[in-house]
Structure 1
Amino acid sequence: MIAFSSVAFFLGPILVGLGLVMLAPCFLAWEMGSADLGAFLISDAATMATAATLILATRHHKPVLRIREMFLLTNLAWFMVCLFGALPFVLSQTVGGLTDAVFESVSAVTTTGATVLSQLDQLPKDILLWRSTMQWIGGLGIIGLGAAILPYLRIGGMRLFRTESSDLSEKALPKTRRVLSRLLLTYLILTALCAGSYWVAGMDAFDAINHAMTTVSTGGFSTHDKSFAFFESGRIEIVGVLFMLLGGVPFMLYLPILSGHPTPLLRDSQVHTMLLIYFGAASLLAVWLVATGQMESVSAFREAAFNVVSIATTTGFVSADYMEWGALAVMLFFFLTFVGGCSGSTSGGIKIFRFKIAFVMFRETIL
């Protein structure tokens, strides 16, 4: 029998976190005198009230998570974050209705990047900030899920922790909390560095913060309809390439760096393979752009690298209309969408790790 009280015990703090994050667009709406302030306040109040109800109802409960509770917790957490995250879109009437609001919210939390919104340049800044924040939350959630839940389910090939049972025991919980807190710190540091780099490269503070959140999460939401083509800046594109790559790296490899040991990251074969694939694809595309007379060598490699990394990590930023680059570019991007980044990263796709496993199995059984 499923212990629903154990699931509710963890859902409460998750919603508290969502409610606290929702205060950022609330403050921005208040500061700008936006008409959306009421929508955000009501959404935040509903989120916090639900969280308080769950916390009070389970305050004397001692949680025990088995595999079935973990599956339920994972699904309910995603569902509730998407549902409450859709409230500002509905109440502000930014979208056509509940269906569009839920679509936008789910797309953000899953870092898919699809959107029902248009004319982004004319939308209120508080709504744009909430879209980016939702995507940032989604990227963090993917990392947290991989670190805290999947190892206990014995799936995914990532055994970050080893316990004698499938329960999330008292002995395992402190270790899980330590790892999650360090992952959160890493995520915050990368986001701050990305925002600062974008600002130095030429973005204003608002665009820098928004694009930093959607770059590190490899989600791809932008504050402009033209995405990165709006800025027309090579420096901004270079910053984007760097942090999209960092978002595509296994986040567990960043933890030793916090202790001054970068060796695991530098020696990881999955990271090496990812960089090799991306560099090869970008070089091929750059040669094609130069050979067809569309660009000069330096700008060709920069544009090729930006769009290759964006597509391969499933981020979705664009700096140009690559449909005009010819059949080779379109075909190359099509295949890169399946590649993805590394396992344990915020990127999507099949992931480099699975391709490496498939290659090893093919080599040992066929060749």
Structure 2
Amino acid sequence: MRWQFIARIIGILLFFLGLSMTAPLLVSLHYDDLSRDSFIRSIVITMVAGLILILLSKKQSGDDYINQKEGMTAVALAWTGIGLFGALPFYLSPEFTSFTDAFFESVSGFTTTGSSIMTTIEGTTKSLLFWRSFIQWLGGMGIIVLSLAILPFLGVGGIQLYKAEVPSPVPDKLAPRLSDSAKILWGVYAVFTLLEIIFLLGGGMPLFEAACHAFTTMPTGGFSPKNASIAHYNSAYFDYVIVVFMILAGINFSLHYQMLRGKTLAFWEDTECRFFLGLLLGLTLLVTWDLYGSVYTSIKDAFRFASFQITSILTTTGFATADYEKFPGLSQVILFVCMFIGASAGSTGGGMKCARIIACYKYCYRELFKIIHPRSISHVKINNTVIPDKVLRSIMGFLTLYIGLFIVSSLLLAGMGVDMMTALGAVAACIGNIGPGFGSVGPTENFAHLPVMGKWLLAWCMLLGRLEIYTVIILFVPEFWKK
């Protein structure tokens, strides 16, 4: 393990993080708010820390290839460091009195979870609200992927960083050069963000709020500059605009790239995309049927609020236009299940991912088929491509770890005095990078009242979910550190 090389990578990322803090500083100067000094101090501390790591770590001579072990270690440590330093603007501002709360908010932002401890959002300075949204936008496509696009001096072995970072069971490069793939992903991401801002402005939303919501929709983050989230506007137009962009964010971004290049049937030809869109439509219609008459007297309102809540939870965005804890039991169970399914692989969404759900279903069907026909030879296929057994094993291991960590974390949180529904809802929301949960952390509440150790546990769950579990949990396997 070349620790100096890893330190250099982390130093470069921290230096970039410090530079990115100049954006909210400009917002602070524009609105002349009270967070200016906290951003100046945060920029200096973060950039100096990055420079120290860069200067103390010698430039490697020869091949800068990063092996898989170094890539996973660098990504896990980098995201932890980014969460710590990204918390500085929160901690140094008057709104936060505890570093635990600042770290929780920072990690929730960068991992695009959207769980918050802030109780008076609209009373917070504009620049801090902008930073809160901006870090979700940075974390959505991944700071390391962005760095591979603009910092090619990270080395030719960056594919290991890309593999550990990109939220996909089987990440593929879109171009021969890794930096070109990263630029393509970020280009599509930026174009959709700009389009959403334009559509929200077209409906009369102020520029600042439109930018903040676009910065948190495309990464499926869910932070809002309003206490009531999207419900604040009570606008069907805003609801449907955000629903469309949440769906776009929940689809594999490589398919968007193919569509933009003229492959009009890219969505339909992809098995996972068909499954995701079909599931989204089916569950929306089911919840609409459940809400009509029992909660809403109009079928139009039932469909509007059902489509928003299902899309928000399934894509793991976490915006809210209604208190879904007041929905009938069937709708609540459907939303809870959606927290585990998640969006498509290669999207900015969290959860288990639809590709893994499909692979698991086909794997189980194959095993049942073999019981009936023990001599048969069958394969699991997605998009007419055979999924290798090693990938299937990895997927089954991931799903097992996901459920196991959910159970253990829920037990630990309950052991801290948190009620059962809140413990289950909070862990499901954080490990799935969703935001609101159930119980006392539902869509109209926040996470501020949870015990200190509970917040650190949930921050850990956010990192596990964002980095697809393996990248983090493997660091605690003794064999990982053996030569």
Q: Fold conserved (TM > 0.5)?
A: yes
Tell whether the 8 Å contact from 1:6 to 1:64 is kept in structure 2 after alignment: no
Task: Give 1:168's aligned residue.
Answer: none
Q: Would the alpha carbon gap of residues 47 and 351 (structure 1) be closer, same or farther in structure 2, given more than 3 Å must change? A: same
Secondary structure at the aligned position of 2:87 is classed as helix
1:316-351 C-alpha deviation (Å, 9 max, x unpaired): 111012222222221221111111000111111111
Task: Give 2:71's aligned residue.
Answer: 70
1:30-76 C-alpha deviation (Å, 9 max, x unpaired): 12221210100110111222223334445743422111210111012
Q: Which moved more, 1:22-31 or 1:264-273?
A: 264-273
Tell whether the 8 Å contact from 1:19 to 1:48 is kept in structure 2 after alignment: yes
Secondary structure at the aligned position of 1:18 is classed as helix
Structure 1's unaligned 5+ residue stretches are 163-171
Q: Which moved more, 1:190-199 or 1:122-131?
A: 190-199
Task: Give 2:192's aligned residue.
Answer: 190
Tell whether the 8 Å contact from 1:143 to 1:251 is kept in structure 2 after alignment: no
Secondary structure at the aligned position of 1:149 is classed as helix
Question: What aligned pairs does 1:279-358 form with structure 2 within 5 A after superposition?
Answer: 279-292=281-294, 294-358=296-360
Task: Give 2:101's aligned residue.
Answer: 100
Question: What aligned pairs does 1:127-206 form with structure 2 within 5 A after superposition?
Answer: 127-141=128-142, 144=145, 148-149=159-160, 157-161=169-173, 175-206=177-208
Structure having greater relative contact order (Cα 8 Å, sep ≥ 6): 2
Distance 1:51 1:150 in 2: 18
Task: Give 2:266's aligned residue.
Answer: 264
1:96-155 C-alpha deviation (Å, 9 max, x unpaired): 2111111111111111111111111111111111111111111121893999437757x9
Task: Give 1:16's aligned residue.
Answer: 15
**Which residue identity lines up with residue 208 of structure 2 in the other structure?**
F
Distance 1:363 1:143 in 2: 37
Task: Give 1:247's aligned residue.
Answer: 249
Q: Would the alpha carbon gap of residues 10 and 253 (structure 1) be closer, same or farther in structure 2, given more than 3 Å must change? A: farther
Task: Report the aligned-residue RMSD.
Answer: 2.5
Tell whether the 8 Å contact from 2:249 to 2:347 is kept in structure 1 after alignment: yes
Aligned length: 356
Task: Compute the displacement of 1:202 (Å).
Answer: 2.6
Task: Give 1:165's aligned residue.
Answer: none
Structure 1 length normalisation: TM-score? Answer: 0.90
Secondary structure at the aligned position of 2:170 is classed as coil
Structure 2 length normalisation: TM-score? Answer: 0.69
Task: Compute the displacement of 1:258 (Å).
Answer: 4.3
Distance 1:338 1:152 in 2: 22
Q: Would the alpha carbon gap of residues 142 and 255 (structure 1) be closer, same or farther in structure 2, given more than 3 Å must change? A: farther
Tell whether the 8 Å contact from 2:66 to 2:160 is kept in structure 1 after alignment: no
Q: Would the alpha carbon gap of residues 342 and 124 (structure 1) be closer, same or farther in structure 2, given more than 3 Å must change? A: same
Distance 1:343 1:152 in 2: 13
Task: Give 2:225's aligned residue.
Answer: 223
Distance 2:257 2:168 in 1: 20
Q: Does 1:82 align with 2:94?
A: no
Secondary structure at the aligned position of 2:312 is classed as helix
Distance 2:295 2:44 in 1: 57
Tell whether the 8 Å contact from 1:111 to 1:219 is kept in structure 2 after alignment: yes
Q: Does 1:61 align with 2:64?
A: no
Q: Does 1:36 align with 2:47?
A: no
Tell whether the 8 Å contact from 1:151 to 1:161 is kept in structure 2 after alignment: no
